[in-house]
Structure 1
């Protein structure tokens, strides 16, 4: 009986340690960034926001200590609900409008044409630059993948 009790106790302790370790890993990811002033953004990033979101104000700007997989180092949250990621040079890597359409001016014309022809009535609510091209999300939630030239590759699942 004592052996069973020890085995159960050891199993409980091991499970607890795994849960604790996974939580501390999440905490480390969240501590990977610092809140900064919008004036600390690279000029390219500030110009992008002024040009494409002239009515919006900054609600939160974070600088990551390590670049994300897409190269982004800055996370910018605007008053209109948009979230934009920028690399160290201030070039956008991800524009997320949540439920709003991304400004057409930043979308390659070939992608806009493809979406208009094949998904009439839907808008592009997220666009992300990846190493192989573009990943977009439509208002329906459908993800589409395009190469660097803006040619359709596939529907992403």
Structure 2
């Protein structure tokens, strides 16, 4: 009788272990989006031009091409040696520029946004800018998130 109980206990534990292993076998990123590391030359021309224009002489640390576009439409993720991360859509248009505590190039920020930030947040820099369907989302050096429409007019502080 004891051996049957041991056999049943062992079978039960083996079943539980198998279920746990199968349920944990998927990557935590369940969106199914796989990425491939690519060379600079494989980026669309628009993306290469953007990088050489706004980040001259800065090398890429890694460039990834995603199989499926992210929510913002980005396919390419470029990580530069100076700490910047830039995302591009399939046509090579930037969708997100993240300076990781560094100011983004002023030339990519719409003038209306620059004017608003200068007038209302003196001394702050724009460290992240993201193009969204309805406009722009920026993050200032103090961590404040601001939302603007597609013409660069202030809408709200994002919480």
TM-score range, shorter chain: 0.7 to 0.9
Pick one of 142, 145, 148 that aligns with 2:144. Answer: 142
Asked if 1:133 is matched to 2:138, the reply is: no
Q: Which segment drifts farther, 20-29 or 116-125?
A: 20-29
Using the size of structure 1 for normalisation, the TM-score is 0.85
Partner secondary structure for residue 142 of structure 2? coil
C-alpha RMSD of matched pairs (Å) = 2.4
> How far has the Cα of 1:23 moved from its partner?
6.8
Provide the residue aligned with 1:82 in structure 2.
84
**Structure with higher helix content:** 1
Q: Secondary structure of the residue that 1:70 maps to in structure 2?
A: coil
Q: Report the alpha carbon displacement of residue 55 of structure 1 after superposing the two structures with TM.
A: 2.2
How many residues in Structure 1 have an aligned counterpart in Structure 2? 147
Q: How does 1:2-81 map to 2 (within 5 A)?
A: 17=20, 21=23, 24-29=26-31, 32-81=34-83
- The change in CA–CA distance for 1:89 and 1:20 in structure 2 (over 3 A counts) is same
Q: Unpaired segments of 5 or more residues in structure 2?
A: 1-8
In the other structure, the counterpart of 2:154 is 152
Unaligned runs of 5+ in 1: 1-5
Q: Deviations over 1:20-53 (max 9, x none)?
A: 7477242555861110111000000000000000
Point out the structure with max Rg over C-alpha: 2
Report the TM-score, using the length of structure 2 for normalisation: 0.84
